[in-house]
Amino acid sequence: MSIEYTTDKEAAALRLMDFSQLWAGRADTFDAENESTEVDRRQFFTGLLSCYNVSDEDLQTAIDEAASLNSSGLENPVDILWPAKVIGRAVEPGTDLVESLNSLLVDIPESADNPSLVVVTDFANICKLSLADDSETETFPVTELPDRVEDFFLFAEVEVEDEDDEEEE
């Protein structure tokens, strides 16, 4: 098996620029009277993954896995769960993102297959923790996403079978 990428960093950064501008604007519309919906939360995460050309099949898997986990009665539902890649939750503006991320860490099920990345957002900001490299928890405005294209590049990784592997089987 080898790793290939579904997109290049420059293309992903350009898509992240559009994505971050869209969500920075939408985040301003969420207030006490106009809370985010499940659709908003799903659109945020599928939009983020789409910036890296994640396949429709993988997007659907991530949505279905989250729905399956949520049906188990989690107190704070997850919005995206792509086993071994990412688990994410969107929260209402004004919520402490680090506290929400720590809560999500407690909720990670075995079925998540040790996700590399834990992400919490209030749509205007993102708090992330990479479990793959023991990095520190980072919180930053969504508008910085294009500058942080590499932080999420694992979404673009796909494993492909090498021809040598196929011949051995």
For the chain (169 residues), the mean pLDDT of every run of 10, in chain order, is 69 94 89 78 94 91 92 86 93 93 87 88 95 88 95 76 55
| Rounded distance between C-alpha atoms, residue 126 and residue 90, angstroms | 9
**How distant, in Å, are the alpha carbons of 33, 115, 128, 145, 153 from that of 15?**
30, 24, 20, 10, 13
With contact defined as beta carbons under 8 Å apart, do 156 and 12 qualify? yes
Residue 108 pLDDT = 85
- Region of 48 on the Ramachandran plot (φ > 0 left; ψ -120 to 50 alpha; else beta): alpha
β pairing state of 138-141 and 157-160: unpaired
Collapsed DSSP state (helix, strand, coil) of residue 123: coil
Residue 113 pLDDT = 83
With contact defined as beta carbons under 8 Å apart, do 37 and 23 qualify? no
CB-side neighbour CA atoms (13 Å) of 58: 21
Sort 33 into a burial class: Cβ within 10 Å, 0-12 / 13-18 / 19+.
Answer: exposed
| Rounded distance between C-alpha atoms, residue 64 and residue 80, angstroms | 8
Predicted TM-score (pTM) of the model is 0.85
pLDDT in tens, 20-68: 999 998 888 876 557 888 899 999 999 999 999 898 999 999 999 999 9
Residue 161 pLDDT = 65
